[in-house]
Each structure stands twice: as C-alpha cells, then as structure tokens.
Structure 1
Amino acid sequence: MSLGAMKFETLKPVKAAQLIAQRVRDAVLSGELAVGDRLPTEKELIKQLGYSRAVVREGLRLLESDGLIHLQAGRNGGAVISSPNTERLVSSLNTILRLQSTTVAEVHEAQRLIEPLVIQLACDRATVEDIAAVRRTIELIEENPGDKDLVLEQSNRFHTLLGEAAHNNVMAIITTLMREVVIQMAYSGDAAEALTIARIHRRILDAVEARDVKAATRRALRHLDATECVMTTREPAVADATVVPLGRRKAASTARVAVAKD
C-alpha cells in the first residue's frame, strides 16, 4: 500500500503523525487493508510520506495504542494490521470511570437498565449455535468447579456470549465492558459455590432458549441483585467504592454468591 498519494502539507510532527495514523485507519475501515496485512517497512514509509523517522514512528505508535497494528520483531517483522479487542477499551473506560470516581453501585445501576434489553434481544435472536456456545461455559464450570480462575473466566464468558447472542454489536460490547470494568461477582473459590453459579446460569439460559423473556429477565436481574446484595452486606463499603482496577480483581471481595430463587 502506498500512503504517498495522500497529500501532506507542512504540519507539526504530532499532527502529521495523527494524519498517518488516520490514513491507515481509513484504509482498514474501507477494506483496503485487512487483518494480517503488513504495512510497508519503516524505511519505505519514510520514503513514501517524506517525513522523518520520528514522525513515522509516532504514527505507528498511535496505531499500536489503538490496537490496529502490532509490531513484529525479526527479519520479517514490521507493522501488521490486527483486530482490536475490547481489552484496550476496557482499560481506557476503567481509567475514565475511576478518574470520575464512579462507584460500584453506579455500575450495578447501569447493568440493571441494560440487562433486560440484552435478554430481550437474545430471546428473540439467539441461534442454536449461540445457545450451544453459552451452554458450554456452564458445562466447563460444572466439570471444573474447583478451578477458581476457570470459573471466573467462564462466568464472564457466559455473560459476554449472552450479549453476543443479542446480535447487536453495541449491546455486545457494552455487556462485555460492564462485566470487565467492575467485579460484579467475586466468590471464595469454593466448588459448591461454583456449581451454584452454574445452576443459576443454566436457569437463565433455559429461559432464553425457551424464548421466555419475562422469566429470563427476572432470573438475570435476581442474580445481579443477589450478588450485589451479598457483596454490600458483607462489605458495606463496596457499594460506595470506586471501580476496581483491572489488575486487582483477585484481591477483591470474596463475597459468596447468593442463590436467587425464581
């Protein structure tokens, strides 16, 4: 790909770097560049664009920070187009929420508003494949109840896949962010407790599969409320605490999950 065709006026280095990054973003969005494609070498980019090495490197750094490229080392290395994931977005949102002193209670409040919409869409649109993928997260918990990391991972994946089953990209992303930005559920690592989580998830999924919006919504909200209630009852400060940094998940409250009866 040649970026030289784009006219760059005499600009400050930072502005030029931003334009270089934007040109690549536009090429990705238009389909001109696809995931896995390699950008020209640094030397070639400097020649094409007529800018210094520092400016070109800054443009690449901006793209890397956005997750649009990753830099490979070695003889055949260079900048390669990659598919952005939600991890960087979650990190940025986490920082924003913490700077604004957003509380855990506020995030729970947002979840209560969003959850019914996700459930309704999932009940209407979930495919057989969607249901099977969500069910697999439950089965993995049931098969490995003593593996705390796996249980937490698959519990989060349950909600992520349920969001994706709504077949609305915005809802899927929001669901993932809500799950990752704050620890909605922390548990002691007890195997029996893990099986309780699986049982609750299965009841929610059964209702979604049956296209029973009311039952699925009721069960999902009671699960959310029960978890929040246990966390705030055992550690009252949790509700007013600011959003938990991503790296401190495992050090968070070990409140047990309550069984929300249907």
Structure 2
Amino acid sequence: MPNLDQQLRFAPVSRVRAYERVVEQIEAAVLDGRLRPGEHLPSERELMVQFDVGRSTIREALRVLQSNGLVRSRAGDPRGPQVQPVSSGALEKSMTMLARASALSLTELVQFRMLLEGSANQLAARLRTPEQLAEMEAALEVMRAALDEGFAEFSRADVAFHETVAKATGNTLIQICGAVVRDVVVSLIEDKIAHAPDSRALMQTSLQHHANVLDAVRDGDGDRAASLARQSLYDYYAEYVPEDERAKLLPLLRS
C-alpha cells in the first residue's frame, strides 16, 4: 500500500502579503464601528509605525481600501484618508462580475431570478404601503403607454415596475440582487427578444402578467403574486434555455 507521501501532494502556497493584513484590520475596524464614517485614519507615517510596515505596503493597502469604497483620500489633506459610509456599490459590482462570468449559465441565472422575484412579490404583497402600491400602479400605466413606443421603451418601463416591487420588500439585498440578475439575463437575450416575429405580442403578454401581479399585491395575496412571477419568468425565458436544462426550472413552478 502506498505511503502518505506517495498518495498526497500539496501545491506550494504563496505567503500572505502584508498589505492584505493591513486591509483586513482596517476593514474590521470600519465594519465593527471602531472607525465611523467621516472619521480619518491616522497619517501614512503613523500607520507605518502602528503596522510596523513600509510606506509601499501602507500605500497599497490604502489603494485597495479606496478602490473598495471604504476610504477616500484628498490631495493635500494632512488628516489622512476619510472613512466612507458602507454602501452597496461594492456588492453590486462584485455580483455583476459573478453573474456575467461564463461559469454561470443562463439556466442558473433564470432559476435564481425565479426564486428571487417570487420571494420579492410575496413580500411586497404583504408589506407594501399604500404609497408603494400607488407607485406600482403608476409604473404599470407607463408600461401600458410604452406599448406604442417600441421594445426599448417598454423594457425600461418594465424594469421600473420591478424596481418598485423590490423596493416594497424593504430588503436592500433583494433590490441589489434582483437588479443585477435581471440586467444580466435581459442583456443575454435582448437581441433575440427585440427581433422576435411578434414583439408586440410579447409586450402585451408581459403587460397582462404585470397587471395580474399588481392585482395580487393589491389583494395582499403573496402566494399568488409569487406563483405569477415564477410562471411568467418560465414562460418568457424557457425557450432560450437549452432544452435539456429546462427541467431544472420546473420544480419552482410546483412550489
């Protein structure tokens, strides 16, 4: 029997770079509240002393932190980089890169969108305010008016409707994830849809679906609103998904 040395081989690993440890500590201080938005980091020289590293390490760490939106440096400001409020921008950027990666198939993206928008509709039906319901009604009217303006205008109105529904959930992650996945899925097939033999019929079908969703949200029927979202997305996108992968979407129609 081969010994362990013969069975197992590990690849060499690179040493952790010092600037990454600097980034980790400053990020932790921001996220746990020890560094608050508007406050300034110590000067570059003081950071060198505290971290016991060279100037190039500190500058690389600050470059990464600024790229991630956690700090902002102003030329000539002697107080050091300023801590910025934590925003959703970095998350949205990372999710967009992941969603557009070739490793993710259209099937996976449509499947995730069915899950996400079903949940968004369900929450919106149960949590929406009268003001948010009025926003959805107004967005639907814009969609109806856009029928005669062409697919591009209709698509923009469609997105606005989904945004109002996502906003009604009160959940920032649902809003970000929904926007990212929706944009990527549409971009993958928008040319096919725009040049469909009867794009107006597609728009009219979509408009009716949104009207049905609005009725369910108005009635507070979360289960129906969720089911409508999943079924409509399947009907709209299934033909663009490889036939041998469509079965992966079907369980979402039965839940």
Distance 1:141 1:68 in 2: 38
Aligned residues: 219
One-letter code aligned to 2:224: A
Q: Bigger CA drift: 14-23 or 164-173?
A: 164-173
Query: Alignment partner of 2:186: what SS?
Result: coil
Deviations 1:62-90 (A, max 9, x none): 32343434x45544595551423243122
2:146/2:157 contact within 8 Å kept: no
Matches within 5 A, 1:1-262: 14-69=16-71, 71=72, 74-76=75-77, 78=81, 80-82=83-85, 83-85=87-89, 86-94=91-99, 97-98=101-102, 100=103, 102-141=104-143, 146=149, 151-183=154-186, 186=190, 187-188=193-194, 196=204, 197-198=206-207, 200-229=209-238, 232=239, 238-240=240-242
CA contact (8 A) 1:38 1:81 kept: no
In the alignment, the residues of structure 2 paired with residue 64 and residue 164 of structure 1 have an alpha-carbon distance, to the nearest angstrom, of 29
Q: CA deviation at 1:56?
A: 1.3
Counterparts of 1:35 and 1:133, CA distance in 2: 32
Q: Distance in 1 between matches of 2:234 and 2:93?
A: 28
Q: Specify every segment of 5 or more residues in structure 2 that has no aligned partner in the other structure, as ranges.
A: 1-13, 244-255
Give 5+ residue unaligned stretches, structure 1: 1-11, 233-237, 242-262
In 2, are the aligned partners of 1:28 and 1:34 still within 8 Å (CA)? yes
The residue type paired with residue 213 of structure 1 is G
CA distance change for structure 1 residues 170 and 105 in 2, over 3 Å: closer, same or farther? Answer: same
The structure carrying a bigger helix percent of its residues is: 2
Q: Deviation per CA, 1:154-200, whole angstroms, max 9, x where unpaired?
A: 53343344234233455444433432342277353999679745554
Structure 2 CA distance, aligned partners of 1:36 and 1:191?
50
Which residue does 1:235 correspond to in 2? none
Name which one, 1 or 2, has greater alpha-carbon Rg: 2
Q: Any conservation in 2 of the 1:41–1:79 contact (CA below 8 Å)?
A: no
CA root-mean-square deviation: 3.9
TM-score normalised by structure 2 residue count: 0.64
Identity %: 26
Per the normalisation by structure 1, the TM-score is 0.63
Give, in angstroms, the shift of residue 211 of structure 1: 0.5
